[in-house]
Structure 1
Amino acid sequence: MKRVYPDPMPLRLFAALPLPDGITECLTGLQLGVPGADWRQKEALHLTLSFFGNVDNEAAEALDHELARIHCKPFDLSIRGAGHFGREEPRALWMGIDAHPSLLLLSHACERAARRAGLNIEKRSFIPHITLAYLHETPLSPIQAFERRHALFRSPDWRADRFYLYSSWKGGRGDNPYRIEAEYPLA
Structure 2
Amino acid sequence: MPRLFTALEIPAEVASTLTLHRGGLVGARWIEPADYHVTLRFLGDVDRRMAHDVDSFLADLQTQPFEVTLDALGSFGGDKPRAVFARVQPSRQLGELQADIERLMRRLGLPAEGRKFVPHVTLARLRDTSPVEVAHYLAMHPIVRPIAFTARRFALMSSRDSIGGGPYVLEAAYPLGPSYPNRLPRSDFQRR
- In structure 2, how many angstroms separate the alpha carbons of the residues matched to 1:52 and 1:179? 14
The 5 A counterparts of 1:99-110 are 99-110=90-101
Query: Is the 1:79–1:153 contact (alpha carbons within 8 Å) kept by the matching residues of 2?
Result: no
- In structure 2, how many angstroms separate the alpha carbons of the residues matched to 1:80 and 1:139? 24
Determine which of 3, 8, 17 is the counterpart of 1:12. Answer: 3
- In structure 1, how many angstroms separate the alpha carbons of the residues matched to 2:28 and 2:69? 24
- In structure 1, how many angstroms separate the alpha carbons of the residues matched to 2:47 and 2:164? 25
What is the identity, as a one-letter code, of the residue corresponding to 2:47?
A: D
- In structure 2, how many angstroms separate the alpha carbons of the residues matched to 1:103 and 1:97? 10
Partner of 1:134: 125
Task: Structure 2: state its 5+ residue gaps.
Answer: 178-192
- In structure 1, how many angstroms separate the alpha carbons of the residues matched to 2:5 and 2:112? 11
Output the aligned Cα RMSD.
1.5
Shift of 1:123: 2.7
- In structure 1, how many angstroms separate the alpha carbons of the residues matched to 2:166 and 2:31? 10
- For residue 138 of structure 1, give the secondary structure of its aligned residue in structure 2: coil
- For residue 64 of structure 1, give the secondary structure of its aligned residue in structure 2: helix
- In structure 2, how many angstroms separate the alpha carbons of the residues matched to 1:38 and 1:141? 18
Task: Structure 1: state its 5+ residue gaps.
Answer: 1-9
Query: Is the 2:102–2:113 contact (alpha carbons within 8 Å) kept by the matching residues of 1?
Result: no
| Greater shift in the superposed pair: 118-127 or 37-46 | 118-127
Partner of 1:178: 168
- For residue 21 of structure 2, give the secondary structure of its aligned residue in structure 1: coil
Partner of 1:32: 23
Shift of 1:115: 1.1
The alignment status of 1:41 with 2:32, answered yes or no, reads yes
Shift of 1:32: 1.4
Determine what percentage of the aligned residue pairs are the same residue.
37
- In structure 2, how many angstroms separate the alpha carbons of the residues matched to 1:17 and 1:136? 26
**TM-score, scaled relative to structure 2:** 0.87
Partner of 1:7: none
- For residue 29 of structure 1, give the secondary structure of its aligned residue in structure 2: helix
Partner of 1:62: 53
Structure 1 152/27 Cα, relative in aligned 2: closer, same or farther at 3 Å?
closer
What is the identity, as a one-letter code, of the residue corresponding to 2:166?
A: N
What is the identity, as a one-letter code, of the residue corresponding to 1:45?
A: Y
The alignment status of 1:123 with 2:98, answered yes or no, reads no
**TM-score, scaled relative to structure 1:** 0.89
Query: Is the 1:80–1:96 contact (alpha carbons within 8 Å) kept by the matching residues of 2?
Result: yes
What is the identity, as a one-letter code, of the residue corresponding to 1:62?
A: D
The alignment status of 1:74 with 2:65, answered yes or no, reads yes
Paired residues, number: 177
